[in-house]
């Protein structure tokens, strides 16, 4: 079986949009980064994470602050003080239908100095319970890096003016996938949800709160000389069903190899699709 699943057409965004922004990699003639304005002595103050032990809570805050600094922001880990934004996190045990690889889920929120929420992010921490409870340094570093990157992505191009209704605009509902042989429909749904939880999007199971919908369809072609083509199409839509983007993936696999368990292949496909899905949502938000 092929070890990679190629993205043949990463994204066709139906709404008009410009190039996808890259944080802090602007050309030399670009205007200054809004987050690093000279009148803000500290861009982001990171508070200790609630819902876990105090030592680990402080280590996580410090890790996030260090990773934000690596992204050219001024950030500190402390409970009080002046700053343009305050970042706080609440750790909770995943719900029964959550991924078994997630020790906890951290709900991050970013507030302006006036108290208004401008961004939120739900982060699944991939670790064993023992690694989490004992503050495994690798887990702490990875958690800080992923949280900082997600918050930065949420703020790209939306800091001035502040994001409106940020807690809701990035909630996405994954609807049942269809057309896959074997356990592909269920495996792909779980895999793309896990991948999305590591992104700047917020996966929700609540239809009423979802701003976007993700639908997946699988087509398996006839076998030829022991191989058969497989195509996965992801359709990103507004909550009302208006399509905003499509991600197409395709490859050939050993004939019949997907008739049973999809195994690691589902994870590869889900992870490869997320970037295009994020780009579609980002484009839709920019055109609001």
**CATH number attached to the domain at 168-286:** 3.40.50.10610
pTM of the model: 0.49
pLDDT for res 48: 93
Distance CA 151, CA 243 (A): 26
pLDDT for res 15: 38
pLDDT for res 101: 62
Distance CA 167, CA 248 (A): 29
Architecture of domain 34-156: 3-Layer(aba) Sandwich (3.40)
Nearest Cα to 85, choosing from 58, 54, 64, 63?
64
pLDDT for res 95: 60
Residue given tokens 């803000």 in the structure block: 40
- Positions of the chain with pLDDT under 50: 1-40, 97-99, 158-168
pLDDT for res 100: 56
pLDDT for res 205: 82
pLDDT for res 71: 81
pLDDT for res 115: 79
pLDDT for res 176: 92
> Where are the chain's structural domains?
34-156, 168-286
pLDDT for res 4: 42
Nearest Cα to 43, choosing from 151, 123, 143?
151
DSSP 38-101: TT-S-SEEEPPPBSS-HHHHHHHHHHHHHHHHHTT--EEE-SSS--SEEEEEEEEPPPTTS-TT
Query: Same CATH fold, 168-286 and 34-156?
Result: yes
Residue given tokens 């996190």 in the structure block: 89
């Amino acid at each position: 079986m092929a070890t990679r699943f190629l993205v043949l057409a990463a994204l066709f965004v139906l709404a008009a949009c410009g190039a996808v922004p890259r944080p802090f990699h602007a050309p030399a003639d670009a205007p200054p980064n809004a987050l690093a304005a000279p009148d803000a002595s500290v861009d982001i103050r990171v508070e200790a994470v609630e819902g876990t032990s105090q030592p680990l809570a402080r280590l996580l805050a410090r890790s996030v602050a260090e990773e934000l600094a690596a992204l050219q922001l001024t950030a500190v880990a402390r409970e009080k003080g002046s700053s343009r934004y305050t970042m706080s996190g609440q750790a909770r045990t995943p719900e029964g239908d959550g991924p078994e690889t997630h020790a906890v889920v951290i709900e991050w929120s970013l507030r302006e100095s006036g108290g208004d929420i401008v961004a939120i992010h739900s982060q699944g921490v991939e670790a064993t319970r023992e690694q989490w409870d004992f503050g495994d340094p690798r887990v702490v570093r990875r958690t800080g890096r992923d949280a900082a990157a997600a918050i930065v992505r949420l703020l790209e191009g939306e800091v001035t003016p502040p994001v409106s209704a940020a807690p809701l605009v990035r909630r996405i509902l994954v609807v049942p996938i269809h057309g896959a042989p074997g356990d592909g429909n269920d495996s792909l749904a779980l895999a793309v949800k896990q991948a999305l939880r590591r992104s700047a999007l917020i996966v929700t199971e609540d239809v009423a709160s979802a701003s976007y919908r993700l639908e997946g369809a699988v087509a398996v072609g006839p076998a030829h000389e022991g191989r058969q083509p497989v195509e996965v199409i992801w359709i990103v839509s507004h909550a009302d069903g208006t399509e905003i983007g499509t991600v197409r993936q395709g490859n050939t696999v050993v004939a019949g190899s997907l008739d049973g368990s999809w195994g690691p292949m589902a994870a590869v496909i889900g992870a490869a699709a997320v970037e295009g899905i994020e780009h579609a949502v980002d484009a839709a938000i920019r055109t609001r």
